[in-house]
């Protein structure tokens, strides 16, 4: 634990800030929630600002910011925070383009600051075990099924349907963050089909086909129209057995036997990692999940489907 907790401001008090960031900061002795920044919402008992600029100007003692706004405003906020000498934690996705995040890395490096592009799903409890199990195997085929009900998980979030909001890749990038973590070799996209509701800038479903240097067939099926049971799982057939990583990375099944199952503690892991990065004065920015999404938008065939009404 650090001697004095890092003072942190949370920016964008919406669903994920309330569900995860605020409770995890409160539970982590390395951090002290010193301010909230949000145009419309606030946190009871915490100093509040409606703009980031106001907070940066009036609270030089707050060394860290966690950006929990939609991705379309991430770059502007991160640039302002870095220019004001603050360490920055970015919610996923870290930005709306690969180039803008690369520039943030340079800005943070130039200013000797920590930049942490978080991928919360990588902190799911069975992900590291899945990575270790796959490390010495040859993957023959791999299948991701990430299907959920957008009305249940993202009610009323207009930004998600606007350019840069990623649509179904907003959850899909979580799957890609796990796949890029656990596969022993890098993969690349071969083909994709993206389904765009006719009234939206972003897709509601995506079928992706990847391969790797060994010719493995790696498929991903993302769909936001899943009612009933939701599915967040991936399966690998390898030269030495079958792996199922289920429940968003919380459960690992090898050859039909459950070898690991634990309650999710993804954001606890994020704040533990942020404390470690601050302590060691390092940054952690892996762009590979975002690159695969960019490739899908570049290579994907587009189909227009019925309009989406929330
Ligand atoms: P959200 O509920 O819409 O909250 C984001 C908040 O940011 C809004 O309440 C809003 O608060 C503020 N905001 C919105 N547009 C803004 C703008 N143009 N400029 C400045 N502030 C703006 O969204 P969320 O679900 O929390 O998602 C935020 C980020 O977390 C996304 O990148 C998402 O992918 C990620 N995430 C979400 C979840 C989830 O389960 N929802 C899970 C993991 C990660 P004010 O109006 O008060 O400013």
Q: Look at residue 284 and tell me whether its pLDDT is greater than 70.
A: yes
Q: Where are the domains of the chain?
A: 6-117, 121-264+294-305
Closest CA to ligand 1's atom 36: 16
CATH architecture of 6-117: 3-Layer(aba) Sandwich (3.40)
Q: Do domains 6-117 and 121-264+294-305 have the same CATH topology?
A: no
Is 92 part of the annotated catalytic residue set?
yes
Q: Look at residue 231 and tell me whether its pLDDT is greater than 80.
A: yes
Q: How far is the CA of 265 from the centre of ligand 1 (A)?
A: 20
Selection from 104, 62, 126 nearest residue 269 by Cα: 126
Q: With a 6 A CB cut-off, is 211 part of the ligand 1 pocket?
A: no
Closest CA to ligand 1's atom 38: 16
Torsion of CA 187, 188, 192, 196, to 10 degrees: 90
Q: Which of 15, 42, 51 to mutate to test the pocket of ligand 1 (most atoms within 8 A of CB)?
A: 15
Q: Look at residue 76 and tell me whether its pLDDT is greater than 90.
A: yes
| 197 contacts 307 by C-beta, under 8 angstroms | yes
Strands 139-147 vs 217-223: parallel, antiparallel or unpaired: parallel
Q: How confident is the model at residue 3 (pLDDT cuts 50, 70, 90)?
A: confident
pTM of the model as a whole: 0.97
Per-residue pLDDT, averaged over 21-50, amounts to: 98
Which pair of structure tokens corresponds to residue 223?
């769909």
CATH 3.10.150.10 at 121-264+294-305, yes or no: no
Q: With a 6 A CB cut-off, is 157 part of the ligand 1 pocket?
A: yes
- The predicted pLDDT at position 236 comes to 98
Mean pLDDT of the chain: 97
Angle between helices 127-134 and 169-182 (to 10 degrees): 50
C-alpha–C-alpha distance, residues 60 and 204, integer Å: 42
Q: How confident is the model at residue 1 (pLDDT cuts 50, 70, 90)?
A: low
pLDDT single digits (tens) 149-188: 999 999 999 999 999 999 999 999 999 999 999 999 999 9
- The predicted pLDDT at position 175 comes to 98
pLDDT single digits (tens) 236-280: 999 999 999 999 999 999 999 999 999 989 999 999 999 999 999
pLDDT single digits (tens) 84-128: 999 999 999 999 999 999 999 999 999 999 999 999 999 999 999
Q: Look at residue 26 and tell me whether its pLDDT is greater than 90.
A: yes
Contacts of 110 (CB under 8 A, 6+ apart): none
């Amino acid at each position: 634990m650090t001697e004095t907790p890092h003072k942190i401001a949370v920016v964008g008090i919406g669903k994920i800030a309330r569900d995860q960031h605020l409770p995890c900061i409160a539970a982590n002795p390395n951090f002290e929630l010193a301010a909230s920044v949000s145009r419309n919402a606030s946190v009871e008992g915490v100093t509040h600002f409606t703009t980031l600029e106001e907070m940066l100007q009036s609270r030089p003692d707050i060394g860290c910011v966690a950006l929990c706004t939609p991705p379309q405003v991430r770059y502007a906020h991160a640039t302002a925070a870095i220019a004001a000498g603050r360490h920055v934690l970015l919610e996923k996705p870290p930005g709306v383009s690969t180039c803008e995040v690369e520039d943030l890395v340079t800005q943070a490096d130039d200013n000797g600051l920590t930049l942490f592009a978080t991928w919360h799903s990588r902190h799911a409890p069975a992900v590291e075990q899945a990575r270790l199990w796959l490390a010495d195997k040859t993957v023959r085929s791999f299948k991701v099924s990430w299907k959920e009900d957008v009305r249940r998980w993202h009610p009323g979030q207009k930004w998600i349907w606007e350019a840069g909001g990623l649509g179904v890749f907003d959850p899909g990038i979580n799957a890609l963050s796990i796949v890029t973590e656990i596969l022993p070799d890098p993969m690349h996209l071969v083909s994709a089909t993206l389904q765009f509701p006719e009234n939206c800038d972003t897709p509601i479903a995506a079928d992706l086909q990847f391969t790797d240097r060994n010719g493995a067939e790696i498929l991903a099926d993302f769909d936001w129209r899943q009612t009933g049971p939701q599915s967040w799982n991936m399966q690998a057939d390898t030269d030495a057995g079958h792996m199922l990583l289920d429940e968003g990375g919380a459960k690992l099944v090898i050859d039909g036997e459950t070898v690991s199952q634990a309650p999710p503690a993804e954001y606890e892991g994020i704040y533990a990692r942020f404390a470690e990065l601050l302590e060691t004065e390092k940054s952690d920015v892996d762009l590979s999940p975002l690159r695969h999404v960019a490739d899908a938008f570049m290579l994907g065939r587009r189909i227009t489907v019925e309009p989406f009404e929330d």
